[in-house]
Amino acid sequence: MEPFSNPITNVYIGDNMPDQNLDEIDKKLLTVLQNNCKLNFTQIGQELDIAESTIRYRIERLEKRGIITNYIALINPRMVGLTITAIMMIKINPQKIQDISPKLAKFKELRHLFRTTGQYDMVSVVNAKDITHLNKLMSEIKQIEGVHELIVEVATELVKVDPKFSLD
């Protein structure tokens, strides 16, 4: 599979990922930012006992290297009216997968979209307002030429979401 780089997040998937050697200070810095990215350089420096200028330099370097791709607020989807979470599994005509992937990526409801090995070519985590919204989305995706099968499993309970990466 060809490596994929999302131009919005610069997330690489595949065997040809850039080598990003991180030292212990970088790892500690990234852990602090994952826990609270609202801290300013001085606060981070105090927490890590490192000079503010070093923190500023390292954060800029981590951004330029594509390790830090964005700073965002994590939002509870239910609290903003997205009451349905589902897993969508899609079978696609192999000759059409390069054409279909960007079409699927344009759907705002598809929060995570992966090309996968196994029975399904793509898997997505989906958030929708309600069942009617989810059904409309499913109909739109089924109409894309080259989509052979669409299986949707609605989540009944959120057990774990952890957007942080352990850097041990």
Q: How far is CA 126 from CA 13, 53, 99, in A?
A: 20, 41, 20
Q: For residue 124, what are the β-bridge partners?
A: 88, 113
Please tell me the predicted confidence (pLDDT) of residue 3. 44
- pLDDT for 7 beyond 80: no
Global pTM reads 0.78
Hey, where are the domains in the chain? 4-64, 77-154
CATH architecture of the domain with residue range 4-64: Orthogonal Bundle (1.10)
Please tell me the predicted confidence (pLDDT) of residue 8. 45
Q: Answer positive or negative: Cα dihedral of 26, 29, 30, 31.
A: positive
Please tell me the predicted confidence (pLDDT) of residue 11. 53
Q: For residue 122, what are the β-bridge partners?
A: 90, 115
pLDDT tens for 124-159 read 999 999 999 999 999 999 999 999 999 999 999 989
Question: d(Cα 72, Cα 34) in Å, to the nearest integer?
Answer: 10
pLDDT band, residue 2 (cuts 50/70/90): very low
Please tell me the predicted confidence (pLDDT) of residue 21. 86
CATH architecture of the domain with residue range 77-154: 2-Layer Sandwich (3.30)
